[in-house]
Structure 1
């Protein structure tokens, strides 16, 4: 890890405030450093924070991902944020929120020129390597349940700083395209807000459109996979679809199985 402060300046608070002021349903809390933006956002939600509170950490020191994994990045190299949302859709539709988040983050990065896909449920990939992680948590509050949508994206992380061989960053993937951290943050948050609002307002038709669009852009569908399930078991087969409840449909030797939670590994033929 290096600390080139001249190459990795802090986020420009004035730019973020100016741009976000144009979106009245978003409000910004910018932290110089935080162990976890999801924890801060969850605390704010319990204290009554409204839909649209955006908690951004210039440097997140102990971020959490799915399945209790950590998300660590060098200072100034990533964007990490958590958005408080208060969905009004029926509870049965909540499982789609993590998939919606991955899909909208992927589309927002694609708009910058990157070749993005989503690995079920919501890992964002560029050319098969993970560039963004997402953790969506349901929080019970006195004003009803809230969702805390946490997103971390590697922006200028160098190849030698990546934690695992299956990770990448915007800079590593395509150095000529690397936008500013402010630009990435604003573009992704705008896409997420727009996608969430459309999903909420559109009813059954919007849910169907989301499902169709998600499947079309999901790197997992059509792949041979191993799915490590909660409890230590696993299944193997071909991922053939994502159903209307957001579950991965896997064709196994024992027949089709529906997966609502699990860790997917894309199996590469030897």
Structure 2
């Protein structure tokens, strides 16, 4: 048996079985629903890159899932990797043409709320959100990053939209973590680590939140998205340092997420300073 045969064989890793693409399509792709196609590939460089390259020729709601990514990217092109079939690695194509472009910045925050909501239902795990794009779980008494979200514009103005990628560690053990501060659903004591129902729950949750946001014209307050994000955001109430390009930084207490999705910092001089996700290099705790 060749290495590729072993990877494609359903019984090659009983602890990490492959996703069932046929079952997922049957459950998620339906007339009148958001999801219009769902493909699962054994391996690729980046699902975001692959889906973005085809954005003009695809309808909204295309989903691309990879069992393994070998050139996965986070925000600011930061690299990360995980063993095959150890997590959920997928991208979706959204084309919210009726929503003003200036409100599209809410899409990664919306995705965070949707993922956290879906995991709470399907895995029994309390997933917190670190602004702007990290998914946190509690391992022991320590908050750890278990996943991240990357949103990228794709395609032409007429036929394009936004590709949103999600990477989530599901079954990673302590000896497989890329860094000691990483986590996974398994390490957080998830009630289930079966990836098929987890992916179904996350995509159904994303469909619901996206539909409400789109129906509200992208208004995060009217869609109750701003309220939900604030309730699940672990960054709020903490003193942080926003590191900016050019070795500049802003230190203050994170007090709100405003209507544009920016983090509002209350500085020691009594000024409230909003910072956008595109403005910062790192957001770190401040002593």
Identify whether the pair has TM-score above 0.5, normalized to the shorter chain: yes
Instruction: Name the structure with the higher strand share.
Output: 1
What residue number does 2:274 align with?
Answer: 258
Quick check: 1:220–1:266 contact (8 Å CA) kept in 2?
no
Quick check: 1:135–1:149 contact (8 Å CA) kept in 2?
yes
CA RMSD of aligned residues (A): 1.9
What residue number does 1:100 align with?
Answer: 110
What residue number does 2:4 align with?
Answer: none
Instruction: Give 1:204 deviation, angstroms.
Output: 6.5
Larger displacement relative to structure 2 (213-222 or 14-23): 14-23
Tell me, what secondary structure is at the counterpart of 1:34?
A: coil
**1: distance between equivalents of 2:256 and 2:168?**
26
**2: distance between equivalents of 1:109 and 1:231?**
38
Tell me, what secondary structure is at the counterpart of 2:146?
A: strand
Are positions 1:17 and 2:36 aligned together? no
Are positions 1:61 and 2:70 aligned together? yes
Are positions 1:129 and 2:144 aligned together? yes
In the TM superposition, 1:211-250 aligns within 5 A as: 211-250=226-265
- State the TM-score, normalized to the length of structure 2: 0.86
Quick check: 1:199–1:207 contact (8 Å CA) kept in 2?
no
What residue number does 1:70 align with?
Answer: 79
Q: Which runs of 5+ in 2 are unaligned?
A: 1-6
Instruction: Give 1:30 deviation, angstroms.
Output: 1.5
Quick check: 2:264–2:274 contact (8 Å CA) kept in 1?
yes
Quick check: 2:100–2:217 contact (8 Å CA) kept in 1?
no
Tell me, what secondary structure is at the counterpart of 2:256?
A: strand
Q: How many residues align?
A: 264
Of 204, 217, 235, 1:190 maps to 204
Q: Which runs of 5+ in 1 are unaligned?
A: none
Tell me, what secondary structure is at the counterpart of 1:74?
A: coil
What residue number does 1:163 align with?
Answer: 178
| Cα distance change, pair 232–98 in 1 and its aligned pair in 2 (3 A) | farther
| Cα distance change, pair 204–81 in 1 and its aligned pair in 2 (3 A) | closer
**1: distance between equivalents of 2:260 and 2:168?**
27
